[in-house]
Chain A
Amino acid sequence: MSKRIEVRDLDVYYGKFHAVNQVNLTVQPRTVTAFIGPSGCGKSTVLRTLNRMHEVIPGAYCTGQVLLDGTDLYAPGVDPVAVRRIVGMVFQRPNPFPSMSIYDNVASGLKLNGERNKQVLDEAVETALKGANLWKEVKDRLDKAGMGLSGGQQQRLCIARAIAVKPEVLLMDEPCSALDPISTLAVEDLIHELKESYTVVIVTHNMQQAARVSDETAFFNLKAQGEPGHLVEIGPTEQIFHNPTQQATEDYITGRFG
């Protein structure tokens, strides 16, 4: 249920704008990898290329390869819809489906895959909500609107929705930036548990968070506004935060970033 991701010679463009230049990195299965870096450095963009979500923006395209256990996601004939069914994603702002109950939100991915068996759905919803540490809070009101939950609960609902389909990889794009500290803690605890089953890649602006939750950290930077972002270095989180090989990384980590 978890796969290795290899990114090779990845360049991403938004129309004529060259957003990301030559990224090469590997993400091991059952680990948490954090992408950090200043705004505009392309970390979210790279994350979105891992499930082809960047293509949603008109004019966006990329060159290079993204291999999921050796299979190129950009090979001709690959269906982006199929890619997104095995590479799940959680967004910055909680986005449960409006006018859908908690149950239906979690079951929505399975229903897209054609699952209609009530018993299978019931079990999958319970497993996913337990996996997202939300079961205890919502088990008595599964038929209530997902929008009625608090922000932190909504985000865990979205995580449950993403893991209900048992993806190979879970991408998280600043999943805690709209949450209060207590909800953030709940989601971070959850990320620790998720890596037992999934390959997790998380983009975060919060360096303490990267240090707390990740095994590996990738630091992205850009030379100047308007220049493409690039990967400065990737390595074990411990090393990146305490003994980085690049001066730029050290400047960023220590806050001497100008």
Chain B
Amino acid sequence: MSNQPEIQSTSRVGDVLFGGAAKIASGGIVLIVLIIGIFLLSNAWQPLLDNSANFFTSTEFRASTKPPRFGVAALLWTTLLTSAVALAIAVPVAIGLALLLTQYVTGRVASAIAFVIDLLAAVPSVIFGLWGIKIFGPAIQPSAHLIENLLGWIPLFGDGQVASPGTVFTASLVLAIMILPIITALTRDVFAQTPRETIEGALALGATRWEVTRLAVLPYGRSGAIAAAMLGLGRALGETIAVMLILSKVARFDVSVFSGGETFASIIARNAPEFDTPYKAGVYISAGLVLFVLTFAVNALARVVAERGKAKS
């Protein structure tokens, strides 16, 4: 034995420490998410049992009646509608900007434009909310009326009985501006990584700039762009203060984008003064629970899409 070299593994202190720290950190994150989920569920449990309206189909939301009557249908609709409209506007603009910044302009001009877009991300959302309801909303009122007159026969664009600019329409546009920076930045990074060989392959076939974009850049970056849009959606779904400042309360739920309403996040924030008893707070926590699951699902979906795209190329 003594003449054989030692091949038994010896534990190295650095590896052990680092490995342990990494395990604790990653385990901790999972634990925190679980604890939040359990907290939400346990607080919402009793009000959910007592609820005299259907939680999934009712458009009412009353925490103070006995028993409480609340459902998430209207909240879910308004939340999804504002986010979907915001996404529909932000994604094409973001992709256009990302293409501009990676394919058409370079150097100082590109970094200047990128800087301005990044600045947008630094504006606090409360400022967006104030600006949205006081300046931007009134400014777009004429176009809103135009759309309402032209397409009012479709319920989605019907008269929402809201005189102020505090509509889903205004909120969606402000949200679009708010999620634009993150989507632009992420798509830009993906497009910038298009392999040079692929771009040159398209150029060598006699492709114009747009054709290079279509043949090489967009197919390569598609999954990344989808993932970026999903992350933007996640932010839009959870945006609170700007949406709360913009959206007007309405007496009766309406599907129109020219109506007001509440999203999950805005109803919780607006009614924070009512959290005087754990029971009433629990009613709002049930709405928070749905939002939690919704954003979780959206982010998970973004991951899956991004991973699938990676595996293919």
Contact = CB atoms under 8 A, between A and B. Distances in A.
A166 interface: no
A91 B197 contact: yes
B198 interface: yes
Size class of the A contact interface (CB-based, 8 Å): 20 to 34
Given A97-B216, A99-B219, A108-B215, A81 B197 contact: no
B207 A97 contact: no
B205 A108 contact: yes
Given A98-B220, A147-B313, A89 B215 contact: no
A191 B105 CA distance: 39
B278 interface: no
Interface stretch (A18-26, A51-59, A232-240): A51-59
A99 B200 contact: no
A92 B196 CA distance: 12
A85 B201 CA distance: 12
Contacts of B202: 97, 108
Interface string A121-144: 000000000000000000000000
B198 A98 contact: yes
Size class of the B contact interface (CB-based, 8 Å): 20 to 34
B207 A81 contact: yes
Interface stretch (A157-165, A197-205, A213-221): A157-165
A56 B203 CA distance: 9
Contacts of A158: 201
Interface string B94-128: 00000000000010000000000000000000000
B23 interface: no
B203 A93 contact: no
B48 to A, nearest CB: 45
A60 interface: no
A53 B197 CA distance: 12
B79 to A, nearest CB: 33
A53 B207 contact: no
B219 A82 contact: no
Given A81-B207, A147-B312, A162-B204, 12 more contacts: A51-B204, A53-B200, A81-B208, A82-B206, A85-B206, A88-B204, A91-B200, A95-B200, A96-B201, A97-B198, A108-B215, A112-B211
Which 4 A-B residue pairings sit nearest by Cβ, starting from the closest? Answer: A85-B206, A89-B204, A95-B197, A95-B201
